[in-house]
Amino acid sequence: MYITRRKTRQIKVGKVKIGGDAPISVQSMTTTDTRDVKATVEQICQLEQAGCEIIRVAVPDMEAVAALPKIKAQMTAPLIADIHFDHRLALKAAEVVDCVRINPGNIGAWWKTAEVVKAVNDHGIPIRVGVNGGSLERHLLEKYGYPTAEALAESALNAVHALEDVGFTNMKVSLKASDVHMAVDAYWLFSQQSNYPLHIGITEAGTVQTGAVKSAIGLGWLLSHGIGDTLRVSLAADPVEEVKVGFEILKSLELRHRGINVIACPTCGRVEIDVVRMANELEKRLGHIKTPLNVSVLGCVVNGIGEGKEADIGIAGGEGVGILFKKGKLVSKVPIEELTNRLIEEVELLAKEREAEEANEGSPAAAANGEQGEQRAALTNQQRQQPPSSGREIPVLPNKR
């Protein structure tokens, strides 16, 4: 599969570029009470350690706005203020944060949005127009009867056109629904009529398991059709899980290469080692590594080393021993009880070697930042002009302009 990314405008949220040829960034949102600076900063640190590239916090009142400078001073990732209902919160938050998210369905009269535009312009930061199936404008609900993909796309396009009418283009857009079909169709419809960068996500996707599957299907379809410039996986879980799932989706599509990719066999009657425990332990203990490495854990040597040829390094169970291999070649036999620790040591060593090689080649951050993946999915200018083809029947939204 060769992914042709849709050509979008590029904006910047703090230091992170979104859209155009920028790597697809992974973001998340804190679950703490923003007014509790200590707890919020603690969670932000955990998110940053997991690789989260943009972090959003809820700003429900002026007390939360007052906490923003203290939070911002203790983090390195760009900060987005999530604002609903009261545009005055956005006016104040814009003085501190790197981007303001507003929802056209609940921000109220247009003059309020116009004031937000003035504030973000004064501070040179973008807006995320965040349309949501659960909070569409009343006139669209009356027109469509209930939330639909067309209603979401129309809401987003109306907001974009209204912002353009006052000369504002520094924005990204999201059109979220918890229904996978609705969200996918809404993003598709919007992308046919606008080239603003898209923040993609399936909202309220569910628990880690349910939400990861829904998100992988919805975001996977969009990304494989070139749609999406930054993503958030919404899970009813620790937000660090959202970051992990986000990167896994991008890694599976080879759009980003970051950190360890554990390849584990499903096991069968030939299994000689505890593959499930080892694979889980590896993911947990090697989460700090940013260098892209494929690490294989295979239950036996019958197909093990052969199946693990694509891996940079791995282990396979043998009769009473473990086999350590690199690029499909046997390196040594290791007692089973020492296998996990030995593999972890070897992976850490290999990661350091790769980082040193990359530093010598003059592109130290390329792999960790996903440049490799982007190259694989890189486009020619000619390809960028072509709309993605889907073969799906998608409703056509009339152009409102």
Q: Give the range of 100-108, 237-245, 295-303, 347-355 binding ligand SF4 by CB under 6 A.
A: 295-303
Among 96, 171, 300, 324, binds ligand SF4 (CB under 6 A): 300
30 binds ligand SF4 (CB under 6 A): no
268 binds ligand SF4 (CB under 6 A): yes
**Which lies closer to ligand SF4 via its Cβ, residue 105 or residue 299?**
299
302 binds ligand SF4 (CB under 6 A): yes
**Which lies closer to ligand SF4 via its Cβ, residue 69 or residue 306?**
306
298 binds ligand SF4 (CB under 6 A): yes
Listed in order, strand segments (DSSP E) in 250-328 are: 260-264, 293-298, 313-317, 321-326
Could you give the dihedral angle defined by the CA atoms of residues 117, 121, 125 and 130, in that order, rounded to the nearest 10 degrees?
10
Tokens representing 267 are 């096991």
Among 23, 304, 322, 373, binds ligand SF4 (CB under 6 A): 304
378 binds ligand SF4 (CB under 6 A): no
Residue 15 has what DSSP assignment?
T
Is the Cβ–Cβ distance between 232 and 242 less than 8 Å? yes
Ramachandran angles phi, psi of 317, nearest 5°: -75, 135
259 binds ligand SF4 (CB under 6 A): no
322 binds ligand SF4 (CB under 6 A): no
Element (H, E) at 306: helix 304-307
Q: How many CA atoms lie less than 13 Å away from 202 in the CB half-sphere?
A: 28
Residue 291 has what DSSP assignment?
S
CB of 300 vs ligand SF4, minimal distance in Å:
3
CB of 208 vs ligand SF4, minimal distance in Å:
25
CB of 359 vs ligand SF4, minimal distance in Å:
35
309 binds ligand SF4 (CB under 6 A): no
> What are the strands of the beta sheet with 293-298, ordered from one edge?
260-264, 293-298, 313-317, 321-326, 329-335
**Which lies closer to ligand SF4 via its Cβ, residue 299 or residue 322?**
299
Cα angle at 145 between 139 and 149, to 5 degrees? 90
Q: Give the range of 74-82, 197-205, 262-270, 337-345 binding ligand SF4 by CB under 6 A.
A: 262-270
Within 10 angstroms of residue 269's Cβ, the number of other Cβ atoms is 6
| Euclidean distance between CA atoms 110 and 354, whole angstroms | 53
367 binds ligand SF4 (CB under 6 A): no
296 binds ligand SF4 (CB under 6 A): no
**Residue 199 burial (C-beta neighbours within 10 Å; 0-12, 13-18, 19+):** buried
Cα angle at 367 between 24 and 275, to 5 degrees? 95
270 binds ligand SF4 (CB under 6 A): yes
224 binds ligand SF4 (CB under 6 A): no
267 binds ligand SF4 (CB under 6 A): yes
Q: Give the range of 223-231, 251-259, 268-276, 392-400 binding ligand SF4 by CB under 6 A.
A: 268-276
- Closest-by-Cβ residue to ligand SF4 is 299
280 binds ligand SF4 (CB under 6 A): no
265 binds ligand SF4 (CB under 6 A): yes
Q: Give the range of 29-37, 300-308, 323-331, 338-346 binding ligand SF4 by CB under 6 A.
A: 300-308
Among 263, 271, 276, 336, binds ligand SF4 (CB under 6 A): 271
**Which lies closer to ligand SF4 via its Cβ, residue 14 or residue 304?**
304
277 binds ligand SF4 (CB under 6 A): no
| Euclidean distance between CA atoms 195 and 11, whole angstroms | 12
The partner residues of 102 in beta bridges, in order of sequence, read 83, 129
Residue 188 has what DSSP assignment?
H
Cα angle at 310 between 275 and 250, to 5 degrees? 85
Q: What's 43-79 look like in SS3?
A: HHHHHHHCCCCEEEEECCCHHHHHHHHHHHCCCCCCE
CB of 308 vs ligand SF4, minimal distance in Å:
9
**Which lies closer to ligand SF4 via its Cβ, residue 185 or residue 272?**
272
CB of 264 vs ligand SF4, minimal distance in Å:
9
Binding-residue total with ligand SF4 (CB under 6 A): 13
Q: Which residues bind ligand SF4 (CB under 6 A)?
A: 265-268, 270-271, 298-300, 302-304, 307
